[in-house]
Copies of this chain bind each other. A is one copy, B any other.
């Protein structure tokens, strides 16, 4: 039941991006990756092609693969698309959540709050992402779920680039109220909350100062946890 080398690479990179261990602009060298995952370069190349199709990696001919660096215009498009998709998801999820779903989400909120308190950014981002993705699962549309998965990934890159450290994540009381509305089946309110939640996140962005990006492949790709910025 182990999956192909390509899938391993793709998933490891997606996870790393989702937890901001791999910042935008990081070079993804073929040699480095084939060493890390002990496979051949052909597998790495296929994985990178796949990631490029998902818009989380940029392929520059003869120069290699890099974690995508979203422009301000792309950031706008991505958040606009996210609102459209998450509103739809909210509509379809409303009233469909099982007791397990609600319990998971309530627990998730605590988890995220703890991670935030502990200053564990990757854990916080992971929890926050899980919150949004779980609601997408409740909605039961795999296409929208996949789209949202891609957009949350790219959102994380955007936050890493344009967020004045601190505003970089969801407000937990908003998550709380979202679960309340979801549980109550108050559809219109839920949709409205989801929309506002994303507007707040976007409002926290600052495009004034151009982003400075670290550029080397951080070996945190293999690390299960932890991110001391050091330096």
Contacts and interface: CB of A to CB of B under 8 A. Distances in A.
Contact of A147 (B47, B51, B81, B142): B81
Nearest to A147: B147
Instruction: Please give the count of copies of this chain that the complex contains.
Output: 2
Interface residues of A, number: 31
B144 A77 contact: yes
Contacts of A78: 143
Contacts of A151: 143
B88 A84 contact: yes
Contact of A143 (B52, B77, B87): B77
Q: A interface, by DSSP: helix, strand, loop or mixed? A: helix
A6 interface: yes
Interface in A69-88: 74, 77-78, 80-81, 84-85, 87-88
Contacts of A141: 77, 80-81
A52 B54 CA distance: 10
A49 B143 CA distance: 19
Interface in A87-102: 87-88, 92
Which of A49, A52, A92 has the most chain B CB atoms inside 10 A of its CB?
Answer: A49
Given A47-B49, A80-B92, 5 more contacts: A4-B61, A42-B45, A50-B53, A77-B143, A84-B144
Interface of A: 4, 6, 42, 45-47, 49-55, 61, 74, 77-78, 80-81, 84-85, 87-88, 92, 141-144, 146-147, 151
26 contacts: A6-B49, A42-B45, A46-B46, A46-B49, A47-B49, A49-B49, A49-B50, A49-B53, A50-B52, A55-B146, A74-B142, A74-B143, A77-B141, A78-B143, A80-B88, A80-B92, A80-B141, A80-B143, A81-B141, A81-B144, A81-B147, A84-B85, A84-B144, A85-B85, A143-B151, A147-B147
